[in-house]
Structure formats: C-alpha cells, structure tokens
Structure 1
Amino acid sequence: MSLAASLAGELEALFPDALITDRAGCLVYGYDNSRRQAMPDAVVFPQRHEQVVALVQACLRERTPLIARGRGTNTTGATVPVAGGVVASFERMNRILRIDTANRFAVVEPGVLNGDLQAALKPLGFFWPPDPTSSPYCSIGGNLACNSAGPRAVKYGSPRENTLGLRAVAGTGEEFRAGYYTSKGATGYDLTRLLIGAEGTLALITEATLKLTPLAPAKRVLRATYADIESAAAAVSRIMAQPVTPCALEFLDDEALRLARRHAGEIIPVAGAMLLIEVDGETDFLPAAVDAVARAAAGDGLLEWRAAADAAEVEQLWAARKALSPALRSIAPMKINEDVVVPVSRLPELIGGLKRISHKYAIPIVNFGHAGNGNIHVNLLYRPEDPAQAAAAPDCLAAVFDLVLALDGTLSGEHGIGLVKREFLPRALDPVTLALMQRIKAQFDPAGILNPGKLLPDGGTAHA
C-alpha cells in the first residue's frame, strides 16, 4: 500500500525533521533479528508523548497500519511491517525521566537502552532485573513489548513483575495511564500487565515506571559440569526445589559448550552439559547459600563443581554464554530459534525428547538458556539450501511444540509470538481464551491498525 496524501502531509507536519519515506531509508526499518523483512511506507521518530497521540489519531483516520519499533532485536518478526504502513521507531525517546531510590522506581521513555539504564542505576546501588542477552543494545520498550527477561528472572522476575505503571496511547487514539507509583495497588483491572507482552498490538507505550531492586552486596559465580544433559537437567530440578534461589541458573548442552569453548577457550570444559550458576545476597549469608546449591547440584553424572576464581573468569564465563546465539547464527544463518518453557521438574523429559526429535528429523538441535525457570532456547540448525532439512523443518518444529505442550509448557518465555509463531497459538490456547483476546484487541484497537498480522492467529491487517 502507499500513504494517502492527507496522511503524508500530516506526517510531514508532525515530524518535520524525523520522517523517512525513501525506499532505502525505509528498508532499514523493515526487518528485525528474525531475518523476516517487509517494506514500510514511512518511518517516523517520535520524541514526545503528544506526537505519539497525534500519530495514532492520524493513522486511525486513514486506517493505516502503525508498528512500534525499538532496536529490532526481536527474533519472531514482531516489528516487521507485513502490511506496510508507518513504522514508529522510538529510538529518539530515550530519556531517563526520573530515578527515585527512596521509593525504588525509575521513570523512563521506551527508547532507553536496557544497558544504559543499568549503568545509570549501578552507582546508586540499584538495578532493573530484566537483563536480556541483548541488553547493551535492546530498548526498554522492546523488553516490555515481549516481556523479555534474561537470566535474572529466575529470582527477580520478568518485566511484568518489575513494572509499576505505564503511559500509553490505545489504537483508538486515546491516551491513558495504567498502574501506580507504589509497589501495591488493587484498583481495577491490571492494564499494565496486559500491555506488557502484547507486542504493540493494543497500545503504544510512551513512558514506563519501573520497579528497582537493590544490588546484592556479594555474589558468586559457579559452574557444574555433567557427563550428559539428562544429569544436568535433573540437577536443575533439585536446585530449584531447595530454599536458596539462584539469581541465575543457565543450562548449556554439549554442542553449546563446544561453541562456547571456541569463543572463550579452555575455561569452558569439555562435558556433556554445564550449569552456570550465580548466587547473590548478603556477604555473611553467601557461603551457606553456595553450600546449599552445591548439595543440590551433586548427584549422578556430576563431573566437576567449582567457583569462578576471580572477576576476570566471571566475565569470561558470561561472555561465552552470551556469545552463543550469534555464534549459532554464524553457523546456520536461517536457524530456527525458539524459547520454550516447561515446568522445571519436567526439564529432563524436555531435553530427552528434544534429542529424539533431532535424531528423527536429522536436524541438529542446540539447547541452552534460563533453566532455573524452565526457559530453554531451542535452536534448530537447519539449512534451507539442504532439500531434506528444508522439507523436515516444519514437522520438526511442530514436534518440538507438541512436546512442550504435552509437558504442560508454553510456546514462548520471552521472545514473544510475533509473526513466526502465531499459527501455533491455537495449539497452546483454547478457543474461548483466543476469542476473549480478540475482543480485548477490538476494545483497544477496533480498526486493527496496531501491528496487524502479529500475535493473534487471525489478527488480520488494517482496513483499506
């Protein structure tokens, strides 16, 4: 589609120095880390809440699709403008508006980078718990859109547990505030949690009030290596069943270890699987906490248990873990990257089932991720240029999802549904639940202009 002349004129007036309409410029904002791509008709760069209100109202009048975008790190195609229209990039709304340590909250605009917020909070003795692998370059707005969490979620929770309130603009063009500046509140429906994870299909977030957590005075990084992945998965269940909750509990299978070793060298062991564990807390409490986790980690298949010797080793271990996803992308540029979740006690069944699926379809599967809350990144390293793998990939992926759902799991922990998983949503949700979601969408965005073609399986596109 192309922009109506009236809308083009409004955009020029609203964004005199912040509008792109040429094809080359628009192309840059037509893709994300899913490797999916589509061409928007225009890209705008809001800098104020009032601009966003006017933008939504203008797009609504012309029934033009409007897609909110952060930094494009999403892996499910959630920001790909499949119906054309206008992409609103929030990269210039990047101010930290307020930090209130006495009441433990910060107010930020959606374009603030996660890493920049953490850097501003650290000297004050606080942090915002969500820390995705892409934290140096992903935005808070993107974190909220997909409820992206990262390793610390096992102890401290996801964005839903760490966001007090939001300012937003619905697809009706109406502006509103949801939530509180307090840590408790029971006044009506919780629209804050509803918008988080909605992938920009209900409203555009223009401001977020984030719940802050004090930095722990001490932490220890530990590693446990196992003879096989089943032993490591069983150890995760034991660790999470005892009273001391690690602030991070990461799982790497044998192939992930091989790739990490290529990046970090001999600090990464040769083993069937490894757990990377971080325990934090008061200095006096830490030895007892480490001992409790060590006792739970011990068991059949344990090869080695050790603590990182110094800060340099800690940095190397985490750098190797965070390098895994880009390393896999270099091996298989079109890999399928899923972030399924199962109850922690069922991790051994998940890992065993994934091995069988990999063997059945002759597609390598590499597994790593946030095992402490059952969130495993399942990477199907298929090559579309291989006819056999290209033919097997859809059935292989469907088998992965069937396994996850059979284990009482869910299709996504933090990547969202976006474009690439929406066809599978009816497998995970019953028809009544899906119908209620559609009605909620219709209340917030009756014309269907906000991020059409995403999340809900029959979301459709904006009206012509």
Structure 2
Amino acid sequence: MSSVPAALDAELADLLGAGWRSDAAALAAHAGDGSRRTAMPLGVATPADRGQVAALVRACRRHRVAVVARGSATSSTGAALAGGAVAVSFARMARIREIRADDRVAVVEPGVRNGALQRALAAHGLFWPPDPASADDCTIGGNLACNAGGPHTVKYGASRDNVLGLVAVTGTGDLVTVGSATTKDATGYDLTHLIVGSEGTLALIVEATLKLAPVPAARASLRALYDDATAAAAAVARIMAQPATPAMLEFMDAASIRLAREVGGAKIAEAGALLLIEADGDAATLPHVLDALERAARGPGLRALERAADDAASARLWAARKALSHAQRAIAPAKLNEDVVVPVSRIPELVAGIEALAREFDIPIVAFGHAGNGNLHANILYDPDDTGQDARARAALPRLFALTLALGGTLSGEHGIGTAKREFMRDAFDAPTLAAMRAVKAALDPDGILNPGKVLPEP
C-alpha cells in the first residue's frame, strides 16, 4: 500500500495537529462508503475551518497527492472512496452559522447533518426541502455534492434548486465565493449550480447559503392502487398536468407491493402499481388541493383509492413505502440501487423493461420512487456470495442503463455517478460534450487532484 510522502505527512501534521491521522484504525474507518466498496486512503485530514481546507489542498497539490472530500459516506456510487488519496472529513466543520428567518436562508458548514438542520429550522417554522431517505445520517455537503433530492423534489426541487451561494476550495487551493444570499442573481457565471452535483471533482464546499421554505401548516395523503404501471403512469401525467402540485408523488411497482406486503407486513391489497400522493398547505385550502389531486388520480385502471386527512392516517398510508428497505434486506443481502430517470410518460416502458430484465436474468428487481420526476429506484437484489447471482446482477446493470437512455432518460436523479456509473457516461453523452466537461474540470482543478477517477471517464 502506498504511503503519504514524508514531507507532506509532516506538513499536514503541523497544519492540522490531531486533525491529521495516518494510523491503520483511521484509514480503515474511512475506507468504505454506502456502495459497499472499499479503497484505503493514504491519510485522513479533519480540518476545523476553511483556511485549513485551502492550506491542505495547496499542500497536496505541491506533492501531487489526490484529495477526496467525505461527509458521512452514505454515497451508493463510490463517490466518497479515497483510495490512494487524502480523505478530507468534514466532521469538525458541522456548524450552523446563521439562520436568518426573515430572509429564509441558512448558512451552514458542509458537515452539518441534514436531519440536524431540519430540527434546528423547525423552531423557526422553516425547513430545507431536500429530504433524502438518509437524512439523519447524510451531510449537507454530501447532499450538495450529489444534488440529492428525495420525495419532496416534485414540488420543491432538489439540492441545486435550494442553494443560493457557496464558499468552496478549488483544486489550486483557492477559496472562491459564488452566488449570493438573494433569490435573484444575474451577475456573472452561475458557478454555484456548476459546483453542486459535481461530486467533489471541481471544488470542496466549505460553506453553503441555503434557500429555506416555510413548514406547511397541514398535510394530507392519498393512496391509489392501479391495475398496472400504464394506468398509474397515466394518473401521474394527469396529476402533474393540473394546477395543484403534489408535495410528494411516489410510485411502487407490483414487485414492490408484494415485497412490502409479504415481507414488510404492510397492509396493502394486491395490485399492479401504487401511487402515494401527498398534499400540503394551509388548513383552509388543503381539502380543495386534495380534492383536485384525487380527481386527477381517478381514471381507467384505478382499483382503489384511500384518503388520509391527518398526519396519523397519512403515516399509515406511507407505511408500505417505508417497509421496503427492511423487506429488501430480508430477501437479499445486497442490492444494486440505481436511481434512473425517464420522462414521466415513459414510466410504463421503463417498468415493463425492468420486469423483462428480472425474468431474463432470473433475479429480483424492485422498482419504486419519485414518480412526479420520473425518477425510479431500480433495486437489483442478489447474493454477492453466490457467483451465479452476482454475475447475473452485474450483467443486468448495463442493460438497465441502456433501456433508460433509449427511453430518453438519464443515469441518475439524485445518487450521482461516482465510480459505479462512470464508464456509462460515454453512453449518456457524446464526445464533444464530455470534452466540454473535462475542460471545466481542468479550469478548476488543473492538476486533477480532486476526487480523481470519479464522474468523467478517461478520454
């Protein structure tokens, strides 16, 4: 295993003190991420402020050593792996610097956990809309790096839509301040939204100014069961075509429904597809919004529709969706969790294609997710210790991506690319487009030290 150059080791020890470690225990603790892959870093830096981040990047650049940012390492794509690089943990940079309720903004450091921020904002009657399933574990820096979303994206947008400005350190070790604390800004290039979603390959985010929303006064839900995915997708199109925007619009295919019922214990009838629909707003208008969504949900192929008018009843309706993660773990020790996206009208073809792949490769594939955005999580379930299953799962993956792209879709809606989907970027983009991306990378990281081997394939 490679080691940190002695001169760099001494320089980082002097800069960071106890915030620099290269012992075996520290390296092992920072070797993996949510993708279940592992890659041993050279050392672990835990800076306390932006100045230390800039200084350590400059030091690593001088010694030609790569740098990889890590939040809580929930990435499912290998984006946080720091093999042969210095892993930069933002665990000590986890301060909420400001909550300016009058401006509806919060200024935070990258190590703040999403759930902790939400709890702090609740006291002000505000929330930050991106709400990934890992909210209690994932960090704001990680959310921004991957442009994370969640169920609320359909109404409120993903991370990129809810950030106003950043302070970041480029691959040259320079601090750049981009964006502002205003919701309108037509000044210069929009580097804020370029850095968001770049998975730490363009710059390391050291501070973010986030756009907040008021907590809705009330919520209510619908659960609609359909004969098949075609009927459910037609309902999604009707729902999204009328003025009342749902706060959440989630889809479950037939395999998800069976899994939630038979393994997760959810109380749900057999059906070909399911939609979970949530509305939010003030108590006076919410019933009218829910009525509009219910009218749109009704149509050919509807088997049953259940309405929940309060939080407790809504929680019961959402229990089936929440049961899926546990149910998947019960039938397979591992999964390839891909978050592909297609135009809403192509959801039936995507689901049909996923079902065909499951039959062809004789392996369970469960599809559910954020129907209002066309963003479905296709979970290929398998046993990695079974060589046959492992091979079939790996063979099904490129076919899933090919299907998605053929339907006019894209490789990721919220997980990002990392190492897992890097080679498929050639299928998603033509050579001139990839060359333009590489030119941007070279401008901000001329020596290629920031998270190398991620996102962009080799030329």
TM-score range, shorter chain: over 0.9
The more displaced of 96-105 and 297-306 is 297-306
Q: Partners of 1:156 and 1:164 in 2: how far apart?
A: 14
Superposition deviation, residue 154 in structure 1:
0.3
SS of the residue corresponding to residue 232 of structure 2 reads: helix
Q: Partners of 1:233 and 1:59 in 2: how far apart?
A: 50
2:307 matched residue in structure 1:
307
Tell me whether 1:450 sits opposite 2:438 in the alignment.
no
Superposition deviation, residue 230 in structure 1:
3.0
Tell me whether 1:349 sits opposite 2:377 in the alignment.
no
1:334 matched residue in structure 2:
334
Give runs of aligned pairs for residues 34-45 of structure 1, distance below 5 A: 34-45=35-46
**Against the structure 1 CA distance between its residues 428 and 260, is the aligned structure 2 distance closer, same or farther, given a 3 Å change threshold?**
same
Whether the 8 Å CA contact 1:166–1:208 is kept in 2: the answer is yes
Give runs of aligned pairs for residues 26-425 of structure 1, distance below 5 A: 26-82=27-83, 84-261=84-261, 265-308=265-308, 310-318=310-318, 320-425=320-425
SS of the residue corresponding to residue 149 of structure 1 reads: coil
Q: Partners of 2:149 and 2:402 in 1: how far apart?
A: 24
1:462 matched residue in structure 2:
none
Letter in 2 for 1:396: A
Normalising by structure 1, we get a TM-score of 0.95
**Against the structure 1 CA distance between its residues 330 and 442, is the aligned structure 2 distance closer, same or farther, given a 3 Å change threshold?**
farther
Whether the 8 Å CA contact 2:222–2:317 is kept in 1: the answer is no
**Against the structure 1 CA distance between its residues 262 and 69, is the aligned structure 2 distance closer, same or farther, given a 3 Å change threshold?**
farther
Letter in 2 for 1:176: V
The Cα offsets for residues 275-329 of structure 1, whole Å up to 9 and x where unpaired, read as 1111112322222211111111112221211122643343344454244235424
Whether the 8 Å CA contact 1:133–1:322 is kept in 2: the answer is no
Letter in 1 for 2:356: R
SS of the residue corresponding to residue 123 of structure 2 reads: helix
Tell me whether 1:13 sits opposite 2:19 in the alignment.
no
1:426 matched residue in structure 2:
426
**Against the structure 1 CA distance between its residues 358 and 110, is the aligned structure 2 distance closer, same or farther, given a 3 Å change threshold?**
same
The more displaced of 215-224 and 368-377 is 215-224
Superposition deviation, residue 206 in structure 1:
0.3
Q: How many residues align?
A: 458
**Against the structure 1 CA distance between its residues 140 and 341, is the aligned structure 2 distance closer, same or farther, given a 3 Å change threshold?**
same
SS of the residue corresponding to residue 283 of structure 2 reads: coil
Letter in 2 for 1:415: H
Q: Partners of 1:23 and 1:324 in 2: how far apart?
A: 36
Q: Partners of 1:85 and 1:266 in 2: how far apart?
A: 45
Letter in 2 for 1:152: H
Q: Which 5+ residue runs of structure 1 have no aligned equivalent?
A: 460-464
Normalising by structure 2, we get a TM-score of 0.96
Q: Which 5+ residue runs of structure 2 have no aligned equivalent?
A: none
The Cα offsets for residues 240-295 of structure 1, whole Å up to 9 and x where unpaired, read as 12221101001112222233335764534433322111111232222221111111
Superposition deviation, residue 358 in structure 1:
1.7
Whether the 8 Å CA contact 1:230–1:352 is kept in 2: the answer is no
**Against the structure 1 CA distance between its residues 197 and 310, is the aligned structure 2 distance closer, same or farther, given a 3 Å change threshold?**
same
**Against the structure 1 CA distance between its residues 262 and 17, is the aligned structure 2 distance closer, same or farther, given a 3 Å change threshold?**
farther
Moved segments of 4+, more than 6 Å? none
Letter in 1 for 2:149: A
Q: Partners of 2:119 and 2:16 in 1: how far apart?
A: 31
Superposition deviation, residue 47 in structure 1:
1.5
SS of the residue corresponding to residue 267 of structure 1 reads: coil
Q: Partners of 2:405 and 2:271 in 1: how far apart?
A: 29
**Against the structure 1 CA distance between its residues 260 and 309, is the aligned structure 2 distance closer, same or farther, given a 3 Å change threshold?**
farther
Whether the 8 Å CA contact 2:343–2:374 is kept in 1: the answer is yes
SS of the residue corresponding to residue 182 of structure 2 reads: coil
